Structure 1
Amino acid sequence: MASLPAFDSTTASAPLNEAADAYDAVGDAYLRYADGDARALFEFSSRYGFADREIWRRIDAELVSIRSSGRTSIRIVDAGCGPGTWLLRCALRARALGFTAVEGLGFDISPAMIDLAVKGRAALNDAAIKLDFTVADITDGLIAEKSADIVLCLYGVLNHLPVSQHQVVASQLAHAGRSLFVTVRTIGSLPSIFIAGIEQARDFHQDNERDRLEIDLVDGRHIEFPSHLFAADEFQALFATYGYVVERTGLDLFHGRFAPDHRWNPEGMADTAFREALERLEHLCANDPCFLDRAAHVLLHVRGRQE
C-alpha cells in the first residue's frame, strides 16, 4: 500500500491555511491519487477516471465550439488548479484543435501543488502555450479576472471554503469568463478524505454542523480542515444568481460503488460488457433528483451574465 510523506503539523491560523497545509503534506502522492499517470494525461487513469472523462467530454466540446467559431486564441483559468493537470490537458487539446495562442492561469492555495504544476508545465515545448501558475486563494486569484473563455473550478475547491465565502466566490467565478465548469462533493457521496484514498485513513469524521473533516491517518498523524458537503439544489442556487446554468448533472453515482478494483477483484470482473452497462446506468440516472445528492460530485456548466 502506498504511504503518505511525513509532515510536521497541520495546525494553522486560518481555515484555508489548514487546507493548504494538508495538500502540501501529501505532495506528489496527491498527483498519483487524483490524476493517475501524469505522463498520460488523456488516459484518465485515476480511480476517478469515469468522472474525469465526463468532465473532459464537456470541456472538450466547449473547446471545439470556440475553435469552430473561427477563434485562434483562447484563455483558460483554473481556480484551485492543484497539480495543474486540467489546465495542461486544456492547453494541449487547444493546440491540437488549431489554436495558435493558448493562454492559461492556474492558482491554488497549496505551494506544493503549484510546484507540481510548474514541473508539469516544464515538459511542454510549445511557444504558443503560455501557462502561469501561482499560489493564491480563490478570491485573490479571481479578483482581476474578467476575460477568460473557460473557467474551471473542479473537485474539492469549493468544499474547503467557509460557507460565508460561497456567495462572493460564486459571483467571481461566474463573472471571470464566458463558460464555467464547477464541481463539488455532495452530501450523499461515499466518504472521502480529499487528500488521499480513503484507505490512508485509520478513522475520520465529517462534522456537518461545523463543516470540518477530522482524519486520523494510518501512520498515526491527525489532520483536519474545512469540509462543506453540498446538496445539488444548494449548489445550483448558488450559481443561478450570477449566471445561466446550462447543465447540472451527477458524476459517479455507481462507479465508486460497483466498479471492480484491480487490488481486490479478479481480472475478469472488469469485462467490457459490465463497463458499458455501468456507464449506461450512470447516464440514465445522472439527472434524476432522487440520485443527484448521492453522486460523488455534481457538475454545473454555467454561462456568465456578460454573454
Structure 2
Amino acid sequence: MTSDVDLCVSIVSLWSREVLDGRGYGDYRSMGLSGGQYDILREVVDAARTARRQGKGTQYVGTLTERQAREGCVSPVPLRRARRGAVVMSGVGPVEPDGDTRPLDPPSVAPHVRSGPPARRSRRHRRTTAATLLAVAVLAGGALLYLTRPRPEPAPEPRFPSQTTSFRYLYMQVRDAGTTSAEFEFTMQAFTESDAPVTVLGISQPYAGLSLTSRPATPLRVNGGGSRKIAVTVQVTECGKVPRNAGLPFLDVTLRNTRAKEAHSYILGARYARDLSTALEVACSNGFR
C-alpha cells in the first residue's frame, strides 16, 4: 500500500514536471493538492529552475526535483513564514497556508435560528459532507489520471547533415583552346534524404591555384527530400599550383541543418576527375601561367 509520504512525493514530482514543461494549470485545488503540498511544489519548482539557469542537465534536474519533493513531504521544518506570522509546514498533513488558499469553513448556524429537528439537521449535514468528500475524491482521481496519462514518444533527433546530403556531378563546360580565359564551369546536383532542409554554407577545394564561386551563391538552401542544381565556376589563379592530372579530386562542402554544422569532403567520381584534368589542361595551355 502506498504511504501518505510516497503519494505526496509522487503528486508533487509529477506536477513539478508539468509546471517546468509549461503545462501546469489552475490553483492548488484544481491540481488535487493541499495547501502544504502546494507550498512544497513551489519550493521544488524554484530549485529546479535555478538548476536549469545554472546549465544543469535534465537528469540532474529530475533527481533534484524528486529529492526536494521527498524532503518537503517528510520534513516537519517550516518551509517559509506567511504574511501575518503563521508558519506553513511541509508534509502531507492538513496544515494550510495563511491567506486566501485556506479552505473556508462551512457557515455555522446561529444559536437563535431554529432550522428544524436535530435529526433532520444531522442527516442534512451528513449528506453535505458525503457530497463534499465525493467531489474531492473525483477531483483528485482526475488529476492523478491526467498526470499519469500516456505520453507520446519524442520525435527522433535528426541525423547529421553529412549523413543525409549527397552531391552528383553532371557536366563541365570548358572554354575553347583559342581563348585566353583561365576559368571553366561545372554543374552538380545536391540531394537531401531527410525531411528537414539543409543549408550549403560554402564550397571550396584543396588546390592553392584554384578559386571557386557558385551560382546560386552560398549560403543556399536544399529543401527536405528535394534536390538543387549548383553551377560552380573554377578560376585558375596559378597553373604551377594545380595538378594537370587530378586522380581523385574532392570538394570541401560546409553544411548545416537543425542538428549540427559540418565540413565534409565529397568525391564526385572518375568522370569528374577526367573532365577536371581536361579543363585544367585547356586553361593552362591558353598562355596563362
Question: What's the TM-score, normalizing by structure 1?
Answer: 0.21
Relative contact order higher in (CA < 8 Å, ≥ 6 apart): 1
Question: What's the TM-score, normalizing by structure 2?
Answer: 0.22
More helix, by proportion: 1
